Chain A
Amino acid sequence: EAGVAQSPRYKIIEKRQSVAFWCNPISGHATLYWYQQILGQGPKLLIQFQNNGVVDDSQLPKDRFSAERLKGVDSTLKIQPAKLEDSAVYLCASSLGGGFFEQYFGPGTRLTVT
């Protein structure tokens, strides 16, 4: 079974530039998550999708971050414009349904904003 795929693995941009991350979840997983993990901290949920609908985006900085899930499968997370404090690892995960099941994580995208 293929795992969660993410790209790119690394990205370096200057502040005020824009960046996009892509995620392909495990086939058949209805729930998809985007997390932000700052060095030395646990992952923080940014947005949770159930199929192609948003379930929770309470911690997504909506003035600069946006996300969509196309046809209930792949997802993209965009930051525009980026700030220095956005430097982090962005993790995508998927599960069969909500937090009542284990989540499978991708390898993450390490973003450095200079």
Chain B
Amino acid sequence: SQQGEEDPQALSIQEGENATMNCSYKTSINNLQWYRQNSGRGLVHLILIRSNEREKHSGRLRVTLDTSKKSSSLLITASRAADTASYFCATAESGNTGKLIFGQGTTLQVKP
């Protein structure tokens, strides 16, 4: 079953612009993770934010988490053509094995 719902499903922007993707989930979580997948390849971990954290940064990435609204956002600043990929949020539910449940993903296209 898919827990995360991502919005938008697809996003197209110009190089240099910022890209924002949102993720909503349904149950209590231990952490939320974001992954990137380039066409035809495996997923690459971007960032992990724990349930007691509200914001986290990594280079040009900024992730926020609002556990009261059960939502997260991923912001990519000053986007580059190389950022073109699919982005997935994944939630690790509280109190279990910590299995990750992935959303459907947002496809980002950055035009040069």
Q: Mark B30-42, 1 if CB is under 8 A from A, else 0.
A: 1101010000111
Distance between B102 CB and nearest chain A CB, rounded to angstroms: 4
Question: Interface digits, B84-112 against A, CB 8 Å rule (1 contact, 0 not)?
Answer: 00001010110001111111110000000
Q: Kindly count the residue-residue contacts between A and B in the assembled complex, taking CB atoms under 8 Å apart.
A: 72
Inter-chain CA distance A33–B98, complex, in Å, is: 12
* Stretch from A13-21, A64-72, A73-81, A94-102 that touches the partner: A94-102
Contact across chains for A42 and B99 when beta carbons are under 8 A apart? no
Contact assessment for B42 and A100 in the assembled complex, using a CB-CB cutoff below 8 Å: no
Q: Which of B14-22, B43-51, B63-71, B72-80 contacts A (4 or more CB under 8 A)?
A: B43-51
Count residues of chain B with CB under 8 A from any CB of chain A.
Answer: 27
B contacts with A: majority SS: strand
- Give the residue of A103, A104, A107 whose beta carbon is less than 8 angstroms from that of B100: A103
- The answer to whether A42 and B42 have CB atoms under 8 Å apart is no
Decide if A100 touches B98 in the complex (CB within 8 Å).
yes
B2 on the A face (CB < 8 A)? yes
- Known A-B contacts A48-B97, A99-B92, A99-B97; the reply to A107 vs B33 at CB < 8 A is no
Q: Which of A42, A97, A108, A110 is close to B102, meaning CB atoms less than 8 Å apart? A: A42
Q: How far is the CB of B16 from chain A (nearest CB, A)?
A: 28
A81-105 Cβ-contact flags toward B at 8 Å (1 or 0): 0000000000101000111111111
Q: Is A44 an interface residue (CB 8 A)?
A: yes
Provide 10 A-B residue pairs closer than 8 Å at the C-beta atoms, listed in order of the A residue: A33-B100, A42-B104, A43-B102, A55-B97, A55-B99, A98-B97, A99-B90, A100-B30, A108-B41, A110-B40
